[in-house]
Amino acid sequence: MKKIYYSLMLLLGGMFMINTSCSDDDEKDTMAPGQISNVRFVPNYGGGYFLYDIPEDPDFLYVRADYTVDSGEKVSKTSSTYNDTLFVEGFGQVKEYEVKLYSVDRNENVSAPVVQVITPLEANTNTVAATLTVRPGFSALIAEWTNELQQTVDVYVRLSDGETVAEKVLSSNSKDGFFLVENLQNKDYTVSTYVKDQYGNISSVQDCGILRPLEDAPLNKSLWAFLPNQQLYGNRWNYDSDPNPDNQQPYDEYMGAFTKDSLRNAPSAAYEGRIEKFWDNITYQLNPENYNIFNTGEWGYPYSYFIDMGRTVKGSRVRYWQRLSDKYGNENVQTFQLYISDDDDPTDGVTDWELVGTYKIVKPADSYEADQEAIAGHEFILYPKETKYTKPFRYLRFKALNGFTERMVSVGSEITLYGLEVND
pLDDT of residue 28: 57
For residues 47 and 93, what is the distance between their CA atoms, to the nearest angstrom? 10
Contact at 8 Å (CB) between 332 and 323? yes
Q: Is residue 56 part of a domain?
A: yes
Furthest-apart CA atoms within the chain: distance in Å: 117
Q: Which residues of 260-413 form beta strands (DSSP E)?
A: 269-270, 273-274, 294-295, 303-321, 333-341, 354-360, 378-381, 393-403, 411-412
Domain boundary among 190, 214, 238: 214
Do 351 and 248 share a domain, yes or no?
yes
How big is the CA angle at 20 (ends 17 and 22), to the nearest 5 degrees? Answer: 110
Q: Is residue 41 part of a domain?
A: yes
DSSP per position, 229-297: HHHHHGGGEEGGG-SSGGG-EE-GGGGGG-STTSS-BPPSEETTEEGGGGGSS----BTTB----EE--
Contact at 8 Å (CB) between 70 and 59? no
pLDDT of residue 3: 44
Q: Is residue 52 part of a domain?
A: yes
Q: Is residue 3 part of a domain?
A: no
Return the closest-CA partner of residue 374 out of 286, 276, 278. Answer: 286
In terms of Cβ atoms closer than 10 Å to its own Cβ (0-12, 13-18, 19+), residue 28 is exposed
pLDDT of residue 27: 59
Mean pLDDT in consecutive groups of 10 residues from the start of the chain, 424 residues: 42 44 55 96 97 93 97 95 92 97 95 98 97 97 96 97 94 93 96 97 97 97 98 97 94 96 97 97 96 97 98 98 97 99 96 97 93 97 95 99 98 98 85
* Number of domains, the chain: 3
pLDDT of residue 23: 46
**pTM for the full predicted model:** 0.80
pLDDT of residue 368: 94
Specify the amino acid at residue 161. D
Do 253 and 400 share a domain, yes or no?
yes
Do 404 and 271 share a domain, yes or no?
yes
For residues 271 and 287, what is the distance between their CA atoms, to the nearest angstrom? 21
Do 362 and 243 share a domain, yes or no?
yes
DSSP state, 111? Answer: P
Q: Is residue 2 part of a domain?
A: no
Domain boundary among 62, 83, 118: 118
DSSP state, 389? Answer: P
Do 171 and 204 share a domain, yes or no?
yes
CA distances to 79, 92, 95, 152 from 70, in Å: 22, 6, 11, 17
3-state DSSP assignment of residue 36? coil
For residues 163 and 120, what is the distance between their CA atoms, to the nearest angstrom? 42
Do 398 and 373 share a domain, yes or no?
yes
CATH number at residue 135: 2.60.40.10
Neighbouring CB atoms inside 10 A of 383's CB total 15
Do 166 and 305 share a domain, yes or no?
no
How many residues are present in the chain? Answer: 424
Do 130 and 104 share a domain, yes or no?
no
What is the span of the domain harbouring residue 106? 37-118
Q: Is residue 114 part of a domain?
A: yes
DSSP per position, 45-77: BTEEEEEEEPP--TTEEEEEEEEE-TTS-EEEE
Contact at 8 Å (CB) between 145 and 132? yes
Q: Is residue 320 part of a domain?
A: yes
Return the closest-CA partner of residue 382 out of 396, 403, 401, 365. Answer: 396
Do 70 and 148 share a domain, yes or no?
no
Do 101 and 208 share a domain, yes or no?
no
- At 7, give phi and psi (nearest 5°): -65, -40
Do 311 and 406 share a domain, yes or no?
yes
Handedness of CA 417, 422, 423, 424 (dihedral sign): negative
DSSP state, 329? Answer: S
DSSP state, 138? Answer: B
For residues 9 and 5, what is the distance between their CA atoms, to the nearest angstrom? 6
Domain boundary among 118, 147, 177: 118
Q: Is residue 21 part of a domain?
A: no
Do 316 and 173 share a domain, yes or no?
no
